[in-house]
Structures are given as structure tokens and as C-alpha cells.
Structure 1
Amino acid sequence: MRSIEGILAQQDYLAVVGLGYVGLPLAVAFADKVKTLGFDSNQEKIHIYQQGVDPTREIGDEKISSTTLEFTTDPVRLKEARVIIVAVPTPVNGDKTPNLAPVINASKIIGQNLSPGSIVVFESTVYPGVTEDVCIPVLEKESGLICGKDFKAGYSPERINPGDRVHKLENICKIVAGIDTETAEAITAVYELIIQAGVYKAPSIKVAEAAKLAENAQRDINIAFMNELAMAFDRMEINTQDVIAAMNTKWNALGFYPGLVGGHCIGVDPYYFIYQAELLGYHSQIIAAGRRINDNMANFVTDNIIKKMIQADKDVKKSNIYIMGITFKENCPDMRNSKAVDVCKHLAAYGIKVKVVDPFVDKTECKQELDLELVALKDVRQADCLVFLVAHQPFRELQPAELAAMYKPQDQQTRPVLIDIKSIFQQQTVTEKGYCYWSL
């Protein structure tokens, strides 16, 4: 296609709309190969990037300082692009229904600045049908152009795993789909510029949309199963990690572990499937059940924090409690839909004040977004209870003496409480040292 030829010849621009945890690494990767625009309506975000700072930590300050990516908040510049990739978030509303406002607004902006002959590719996670039934009509209305005749469209679900230094953008297979075979081939050629793991062409846009929901719902269900086991084993006084270690000796064990399931993919995407299925008269049973289990884990963890504090003879409301990790996963600053935040809220509902420690989170952002004060790891002192919710590497590297130094001196009336959701520490070792210990 002509639009692809111009990009490959360094004559035309490729643009990425939405420069967050997904869009920024994508745009920087393309900028290494072709002329690339990075558009975001958030002026403060763009200013930070232009200063050579990467708050997402996905590519690093050095890379963002040296990139040839052209950052802009001017939507008119999208007229210069022949391929536009949309990577805006698609969250859920308070009632767990899909919130398509970001992707619809992005479609409006693109439509108002869409040049004939261009290709628009959506990466945002949506339920099957959104690209063709919602986004394309918006593009057509705003541009006055006809899809299939004046411009083309496609879909390629994002698969970036924030904080993962092994499974990165370039070595994760990319699914692509277009409104026709020619478009699919063109989109494939674009992504092959940066994806080393190869590109898989799905037979339709709806299949590509569904694939993203299915892969995340599958993971959600498997973690929910492990969480259900953990809650049952807790009542049976069986160590879940011991069961998993034994189970994983079989070749076909899946290797999942219990935990708090948050973030902007696994904690959200299944609701898109549930919503669309119910619109068509099918009421999800397994996926909906998995969501209920995982959404309830913050309550379960909170109850056990309080339970262990009481067992250790602590005055819970007067105790010094530190929440170790507030992001939705390890080694990443992303706090979106974090269940660690839910634990803090549940404790607050009991009148329990906590302090938060997270070496990956910006102190100002934490205060603005969550109204929580961050404490540096080195400043943790006089603790009654440490609650490790996220397995950040600095937490994993703590030595026994460093851990002990964080607590109040032990007395004969009470014991230090250690809540270890991700099993960072060896239970036998810490219990022998006098800790009142609990893990999933």
C-alpha cells in the first residue's frame, strides 16, 4: 500500500496516539526505524518526556533522552501520519461495565485529522466488535471519509507486560488483523519492523479482539483457582506454597500462584468479555466467578492482617503498620487498579492508619492519586507489622538483620507481625525467629 511505502521510505510519519505504559515503548521502538510522532493530549506528560524522564521505567531515561521520537500535543500533526496506532487505556466504570470513552475520544481526534489513504490500527483492549461497530463509525463521521475506500483500519492487541525485562515488546508475538487482506498485510509489514518474535495474522478483527480477552481471562481464572485453594488451605492450616511445590513436580502443572490480581489488563479485561456476552444473552459462569474471587482477595488479606495482629497481642489501631508495595505488580511503578490500594482502603475503613513503602512509586504521584504518604525503605523503623503485598526486588534482597531492624524491639507481651503475600521469606526461618507470620 502507498501509505506503507511512504513510511518505509522515511517520507511519511507513523504516529502513536496515547503514550503510557503501552504507547511509549511502542512509539520509541518505531522511532528507531521510521519517522514517528508520539501524540498525547496530556501536556504535563509530554513535557516530562521531553525533559528526558521516563516515569513508566519501561524504556529508561537514557533511551527517552536519545530517541528521535517527536513528541506532540498538537492533534493537527496527525495529518502528517499515514499509519496511526491507538494505544489509549480502556478501563471499566464503577459498575464494572466497559468505559470506552478514551478510545472513542481518540477516534474523534484522529477522525478530525485523518488524511485519505491512511491506516488506523487500534491496540486498546476492547470486546469483539468495538473496532468495527464503534471506532470506525466515529472515524468516518469526524473525517467525512469512508473506511475501506478512503482509509483502512485494523486491530493489534497490545501484549506488553509492564516491569518485565524478559518478555519485552520485541520478543512477544504480535497478533494483527485488518478490514481486508491487503490491510492485514500492510499492518504486518509495519509491525515486522520492530517485532522480532514474529507476527500472527488473525482471520478477522473480531478474532484479534477476542484473543486478547481470552488470554487474560484464562490467566485470571487460573490465579482465581489458586486463590480459592489458598483460602481453603488457610482454614485447613496447610501451607499453600508447600502444596504448590509438590504439585509442580508434575510435568503438566501450570505454575500459577495465589495473589492480588490488579492492573489494567487481567483485572479489567474479563469484564469486557462478561459485558459483551451478557448483551448477547450468555451469562458467564467461570470467568465471572474468577473475577469475584480475585476481587475479594483484598478483603481476605485485610481480615488476616487484623487477625494476625490480634493473635500477636497488638493494639491494632495504635500499631505501626507498613504496607510494603502499592503497585499492581512487582518492579513497576503502575498503581492503576492496584489491589494493594484496596487493602489500604479496607484497613482505613476499620480506622487503621498505615504507612506505605514502595521504591518504584513517585512520592508526589502517590499523594495526588491515592492520598497516601510514601516512606523510604531505609526509613522503616519501629514497626509492629510489615505487610509485603508486592514482591519488588529491593524487598526480595532484604537480609534477616535488615528486616529485624525495621521492627520495634521484641518484648514478652507481643510479637512482630510479618504478612508475606508473595512468600518472599521462608516461613520456617521467620517463625523460628519469633515472627507472627502469614502468607497466601
Structure 2
Amino acid sequence: MNRSMAVVGLGYVGLPVAVSFGKKHEVVGFDINVNRIDELKKGYDRTNEIKGDDLKKANIKFTSDKNDLQNTDFIIVAVPTPINKNNQPDLTPLLAASETVGSVLTQGTIVVYESTVYPGATEEDCVPILERASGFESGKDFFVGYSPERINPGDKEHTFETITKVVSGQTPEVLEIIAEVYGSVVKAGVHKAANIKVAEAAKVIENTQRDVNIALMNELAVIFDKVGVNTKDVLEAAGTKWNFLKFSPGLVGGHCIGVDPYYLTHKAEELGHHPEVILAGRRINDNMATYIASSIIKEMLKKGISVVNNTVNVLGLTFKENCPDLRNTKVIDVIRELQEFGLNVRVHDAEADPTEAKNYYDIDLKSDNDLFKTDVMVFAVPHEKYKKNNKKYLDLVNDKGIIFDIKGIVENQYLKEEQTIWYL
């Protein structure tokens, strides 16, 4: 491989990509966040995805100067693709990155997008910006490809190098180059998609499938709660069948499962199709925070525990376990609902950055020493620290208190006789 590489966007996705390539190749790592670049130069990754030693060993030139991209001819774009408050795709970061790349594009360059998008976005939304900013013609002066990211924040087993990489290219020749470049570092190998739209669609349905399945589990959890049986027990029994799919209920947030389906539904509705199953799943999952909060209030009232001005401890704020990522967490929705009922909510998180929690949600994270005994404890996120220290945190619940276990991590042997526990 004799390509000169760059990665644009050094977040949860872009940094692992840059580091993997940086083990074998010289890489320009570009991000518009100057503070982020300064931290990476010092060997510190606040996302906890890359260890300091691995960061320093990788051959990466970290920069916020777009002119450094001019010396590269294989540029990977890995910027966020969020949704707005109306659950519509927000391509602002992606289009801005395309503008930046286009302004320094040199002839013969291949630009590969990894950001999650709806089918058609690369060629219909990004390419025109690259052409306008560069003055070049796509398919002649420069080329594009799409290789959907599959980074799973906090997962040290399924990494960039160990997951099969789907690749696609504008032409058969470009596809072969892209496959060779990724194949040089991805040990699991590559899958050559038929075209760019196929690769875009494959990515967006991966998380849509998970979203719909989790929505089914959430709806079943609500039903079983009314029936009076434990959802976890039901799923364990059903799971003994060989072809039962093992999903579990929970809060669906983050930058993937809670976002990607809206990219697909947006495109579908633009084309005149109303996607009923996908949107129904989204409604169920988006409403789970309200359901959990109202269940907490009901259980408190049933046990004669006062609500207004009482205090609740919530363990976990991030969108998933063992990861500091706070983006699009649904735990904040539970917290806001509880606050509206008049409860004081004290939040602890074993992984999150207190500064980010304050900036994102105006939440003052508490330390272990700041937590005191309360009538109610909510295990919201199953961080390993909470799993390993069940007894320590359960000791912070009054003798007649209630524990709300959203992800089923509480060990019953540590419960006191008059304490009660509620499972999702």
C-alpha cells in the first residue's frame, strides 16, 4: 500500500481507526477541536478507547490545520452524524467536513466516508460539496468510497481490527484500492459491497434491527410488569430454546441504536413510504424513560415513601456500560422526569467525566463519599464497578427502601428483609 493517509474526526470512531492505521502507516489525524488535538499529542484519550502507550506508539501527526491534509491522497471521514430535536438527520458535521476536505483536495485522492448516513448521502449530499470546494470532478479527478464504522465504544473485544470491514467504491478499480488499504490493518478481512448505497444501507439496518428487537423486549417488559412476573426470569426460560434471540429490555440511547433508525426512516418518508415497524419501535424505546420514572413513583407511593423533596440515588449516567460516552443518554430523561415529580436526584457514574456531565446536562456528578442513605436507589447503567460492588451500594438503601434495577445486575442475597426490588 503506497497511499498517504489521513483521518478526519478523532472521536470514538476516528481515533481507533487512525491508531490502527498508525501502527503500520504514517497517518495525519485531523480534528477541528484544538483541545482534543492537544490532549492526543500528550498521549491522553478522554474517550478511554485508546491507551496512552498505544497512542504514543502510533505514527500519527495530530493537527487542526487543514493544510496538513494536502499531502495525503486517502482521506477517511469519521465525524458524528446526530439527529436534531425533531429526530431528523443532522448532516451539519458531515457536510462541514466535506467542505474542509474539498478545500484541500488534490487530484487522484480517494475520500472514504465512515459516518452513518441514509442510503445515497455520500453521492448525493457529500460529493457535490467536494466538487464545489475543490473545483474537481468526482469520478475523474478524485474518487469516493464508503466503509461503515462498526466501532463499539467500551468494547475491547470487538475492535476496528477484529471486525469484518464492509467496503465500497465509486468504481471497481477504486473499490480494489479501498479494500487493499483497509485489508492492510483489518485482520478480520473485508467484505466488498456491490456499491456505495448498499454499504450505506447495510450500516443503517444493523442498528435498526437491534432497535426493533429491543423495542419488542421493552414492550414485553411492560406487559410482564402488569402480569406480575419477572421479565428476566421469562427471558431466561425462553432463552433455552435454540433459536430464541437473546435481547433484553432497557434504555436505548447513544449515538447508534437510538439515532441510526431515524436516518433510514427519513429517507423512506422522503421517498413516500411510511415505515411503520421501525417508527413503532422508536416510539416504544423513546418512551421507556417515562415508563421507568413513573414506575419509580408508583412503587414509592405503594410502599408509603414520600416523593416530594425526598432524595433518590441514581447510579450511572452514560448511555451504556463501561464507557464514558454521555451522548444521547436516556438516563437523563429518567432523571428529568423524577425531578418534575419533586424528587432530589443525586447522580453517580463510575466512568463519566464530571466536566462533560455538567456541560452536557448541568448534572453535578457525585463521588462515592457524596452518596448518603436514601429510600430509593436506581441502578441505571450496569458499569462493572456496580456489578462488583453490589453490597457496597445496596448498603446506601434504607432498611425498608426500594431498589430499581434497570439491567438486572443486583444480587438478591445482599437485599435486606424489608427492602423491595423492581426489575425492568
TM-score scaled to structure 2, two decimals?
A: 0.97
Which of 388, 397, 406 aligns to 2:396? It is 406
Deviations 1:183-218 (CA, angstroms, capped at 9, x unpaired): 111101111122111100000100000001111110
Q: Which residue, 56, 59, 72 being the options, matches 1:65? A: 56
- Does residue 149 of structure 2 align to residue 150 of structure 1? no
Q: Aligned with 1:323: secondary structure?
A: strand
Larger CA deviation: 344-353 vs 219-228: 344-353
Aligned CA distance change for structure 1 residues 262 and 189 (closer, same or farther; 3 Å): same
Q: 1:17 aligns with which of 8, 28, 41?
A: 8
Determine whether 1:168 maps to 2:159: yes
Given candidates 418, 423, 434, the residue that maps to 2:408 is 423
1:389-415 per-residue CA deviation (whole Å, 9 max, x = no partner) reads 110000000143x2343234x3xxxx2
Is 2:30–2:64's contact at 8 Å kept on the other side of the alignment? yes
Correspondence for 2:292 among 301, 312, 332? 301
1:379 Cα deviation from its structure 2 partner: 3.9
- Does structure 1 conserve the Cα–Cα contact (< 8 Å) formed by 2:390 and 2:414? no
Structure 2 vs 1, CA of residues 230 and 399 (structure 1 numbering), >3 Å: closer, same or farther? closer
1:436 partner letter? T
Aligned ranges 1:81-230 → 2 under 5 Å: 81-230=72-221
| Superposed CA offset, 1:54-104 (max 9, x none) | 111111223223332110000011101110000000011111111011100
Match of 1:6 in 2: 2
SS of equivalent residue, structure 1 residue 318: coil
Aligned partner letter, 2:396: M
Q: Deviations over 1:344-371 (max 9, x none)?
A: 1222222322111111011111112211
Matched with 2:336 is 345
Q: CA deviation at 1:432?
A: 5.8
Which range moves more in the overlay, 316-325 or 230-239? 316-325
Show the 5 A alignment for 1:276-291: 276-291=267-282
Range with bigger deviation, 46-55 or 148-157: 46-55
Native 8 Å contact 1:192 1:198 kept in 2: yes
Question: 1:418, 1:437 within 8 Å by CA — same for their partners in 2?
Answer: yes
Displacement after TM superposition at 1:378 (Å): 4.7
**TM superposition outliers: structure 1 runs of 4+ over 4 Å:** none
2:307 alignment counterpart: 316
Partner of 1:34: 25
In 2, Cα distance between equivalents of 1:434 and 1:174: 52
Question: What secondary structure is seen at the aligned counterpart in 2 of 1:384?
Answer: strand
Deviation per CA, 1:279-329: give whole Å up to 9, x if none: 111100111110000000000011111112222322222222111100000
Q: Distance in 2 between the 1:240 and 1:407 partners?
A: 23
Q: Secondary structure at the match of 1:90?
A: coil
Counterpart residue type for residue 269 of structure 1: D
Q: Of 317, 333, 337, which residue of structure 2 is paired with 1:326?
A: 317
Cα distance in 2 between the residues matched to 1:356 and 1:60 = 27
CA separation of 1:399/1:329 partners in 2, compared to 1, >3 Å: closer, same or farther? closer
Partner of 2:40: 49
Deviation at 1:171, TM superposition (A): 0.9
Change over 3 Å in CA distance of 1:344–1:305 after alignment to 2 = same
- Root mean square deviation, CA, Å: 1.3
Q: Does 1:434 align with 2:424?
A: no
CA distance in 1, matches of 2:395, 2:52: 33
The SS at the match of 1:6 is coil
**DSSP 3-state at the match of 1:171:** coil
Percent identity over the alignment is 48
* 1:25/1:59 contact within 8 Å kept: yes
- Please list every run of 5 or more consecutive structure 1 residues that lacks an aligned counterpart in the other structure: 8-12
CA contact (8 A) 2:309 2:342 kept: no
Q: 1:207 to 1:397 in 2, by over 3 A?
A: same
CA distance in 2 between counterparts of 1:185 and 1:377 reads 53
Q: Distance in 2 between matches of 1:377 and 1:164?
A: 25
Structure 2 residue 242 is matched with structure 1 residue 251: yes
Asked whether 1:380 is paired with 2:379, we answer no
The answer to whether the Cα contact below 8 Å between 2:216 and 2:281 also exists between their aligned partners in 1 is yes
Q: Is the 8 A contact 1:359 1:377 kept in 2?
A: no
Q: Distance in 2 between matches of 1:282 and 1:301?
A: 32
Give secondary structure in 1 for the equivalent of 2:69: helix
Cα distance in 2 for partners of 1:336, 1:6 equals: 37
User: 2 CA distance for matches of 1:54 and 1:405?
Assistant: 34
1:308 and 1:436 in contact (8 A); partners too: no
Paired AA for residue 421 in structure 2: Y
Matched letter for residue 70 of structure 1: K
Cα distance in 2, alignment partners of residues 325 and 403 from structure 1: 12
Instruction: Report how far residue 143 of structure 1 moved.
Output: 0.1
- What is the CA-CA distance between 1:431 and the residue it aligns to? 5.6
Q: Which residue type is aligned with residue 405 of structure 1? A: D
* Cα distance in structure 2, aligned partners of 1:233 and 1:97: 33
CA distance in 1: counterparts of 2:359 and 2:86, whole angstroms: 24
CA drift of 1:430 comes to: 5.5
